[in-house]
Amino acid sequence: MKSSRSKLLHEVAGQSMLSYALGAATAVEPENLVVVVGHQREQVTAHLQDIAPHVITAVQEEQKGTGHAVQCGLADLGELSGEVVVTYGDVPMLTGDTLNELLRTHRQRGDHCTVLTAELSDPTGYGRVVMDGDQVDRIVEQKDATDEEKAIREINSGIYVFNAGTLHHGLANLSDDNAQGELYLTDVIRIIRDRGELVGVHRTNDLWQTEGVNDRVQLAQMNAEMNRRILDRWMRAGVTILDPASTWIQNGVDLATDVTLLPGVSLEGATSVSEGATIGPDSTLSDVEVGRNATVIRTHAILAVIGEDASVGPFAYLRPGTEIGTKGKVGTFVETKNTKIGAGAKVPHLCYAGDAIIDSGVNIGAGTIFANYDGVTKSPTHIGKDAFVGSNSVLVGPVDIGAGGFVAAGSTVTQDVPPGALAVARGRQRNIEGWINRKRPGSSWDSSALQSDGAVHPAVQKKREELRRLSEQPGSEQ
């Protein structure tokens, strides 16, 4: 893999390759589940502690072949009876159903060993399974095969079930007398056949279940095939995926019927999307819960909750701890973190809301900043029900704005605002007449100013007159 990370920890559809191998092996309900570790084993054992602390690990100090690896895996188990299943950590498409079918075939036929095989149109590079009637005669590696053997299309997956006694005998008689000086598990097949014991096959029609991953090209191919199958499953379950070629869904995602995914969507982790919601285009959700009929457009969200009928984006960033209530809105170029947005509350555009509690019906004006960090501690800001925060305001936490309170545009609020009060926290405007003519004479600004008649625009004047009339009505306040 040319990586500082163990190959087994590289991911397919959001899960490590090793986790898939463990899932398939666990499905056969083994008395002992052993993972043989060697190269970069510290990483692998740490990962196992996180995902499967019950498994046994066996160390292969020197990588001396597959037969040696199996010897290491069995070393501490003592005398075994029954069957031993051998599989690999880098075959992520292998399923527990296939391993159980392999076991059933082995038991029904009464063979001493059964090999999982597949037929490939191009078997180049794989070990060929040479049959003698319905029995395996031998397995020949590509480099050792004759032209006639290279024409065989049935390949060895390297996945087996052995009778325990047969395997112990085969391993005890392995030899490293070969070009690599290694102990090959495939040689056990020859030893079994030399004893006159039976070796059968179980063929799978799903070639991907026998495919391993040895480099990043194969990893990309595996991810693409896994994603294709995940998308097919969801589309057949009632999800609309407009462009499967640009849509990625990981295994842990849960989708309801009538969800619509637009181009450029990536759903990761334990994300769940409820009925009727629309995600995309160009959105990435990781461990996010999306409510019924919500819309999420051009958004990056992590560990967030988006409520029913809520609207998010475009170009929104929801960081962990964000919760948006029913019909809530987080709009364009808004970033939220550890913020609860109540039902119907709106944070429409150009805003940072961190460590905030925004109650229902609140409107946050454009350019507002929740100043939650003083360089040492994080502090919350609470905005009460139906309050209004004017554009370009700074709310310096910890601060509380009461229900129905107003913050005038351009204010820097450092003190609590009582319910129903108007907070104005800004310097009084001062106009310096003729400044452009003195400081920038002859400029385009000066030319435009000289040509202007100084009249207020009719739209502004009209609004001022409306506000003046309202202020003159009984009970109103300027």
pLDDT tens readout for residues 345-385: 999 999 999 999 999 999 999 999 999 999 999 999 999 99
Mean pLDDT over each residue of the chain, to the nearest integer: 95
Q: Are 290 and 307 in contact (CB under 8 A)?
A: no
H/E stretch holding 165: helix 164-172
**Residue 140 phi, psi dihedral angles, 5° rounding:** -115, 125
Q: Give the Å distances, CA to CA, from 65 to 136, 143, 210, 306, 420.
A: 22, 16, 19, 51, 77
Residue 202 a catalytic site member: no
* Rounded mean pLDDT, 305-327: 98
Non-local CB neighbours of 478 within 8 Å, separated by 6+ positions: 471
Class of residue 318 by CB neighbours under 10 A (exposed 0-12, middle 13-18, buried 19+) = buried
Domains of the chain: 7-210 (3.90.550.10), 237-423 (2.160.10.10), 444-472 (no CATH)
Determine which one of 202, 300, 349, 382 is catalytic. Answer: 349
Residues 384-427: pLDDT tens digits? 999 999 999 999 999 999 999 999 999 999 999 999 999 999 98
Q: What is the pLDDT of residue 179?
A: 78
* Rounded mean pLDDT, 111-120: 96
Q: Which two tokens stand for residue 51?
A: 């995902």
* Rounded mean pLDDT, 150-156: 95
Residues 17-71: pLDDT tens digits? 999 999 999 999 999 999 999 999 999 999 999 999 999 999 999 999 999 999 9
Task: Mean pLDDT check: name the lowest of 5-14, 360-369, 399-408, 446-455.
Answer: 446-455
Non-local CB neighbours of 320 within 8 Å, separated by 6+ positions: 302, 303, 304, 337, 338
Q: If we measure between CA atoms, which residue out of 340, 343, 399 comes closest to residue 370?
A: 399
Q: What is the pLDDT of residue 380?
A: 96
The angle, 0 to 180 degrees and rounded to 10, between the axes of the packed helices 164-172 and 186-194 is 100
Q: What is the pLDDT of residue 474?
A: 75
Q: What is the pLDDT of residue 143?
A: 86
Sign of CA dihedral 80, 84, 87, 89: negative
Within 10 angstroms of residue 132's Cβ, the number of other Cβ atoms is: 10
Q: How far apart are CA 203 and CA 225, in angstroms?
A: 20
Q: Are 337 and 323 in contact (CB under 8 A)?
A: no
* Rounded mean pLDDT, 245-269: 98
Which residue has better confidence, 176 or 288? 288
With a cut of 70, say whether residue 478 has pLDDT above it: no
Can you tell me whether residue 198 is helix, strand or coil?
coil
Within 10 angstroms of residue 61's Cβ, the number of other Cβ atoms is: 9
Tokens 């199958």 -> residue: 229
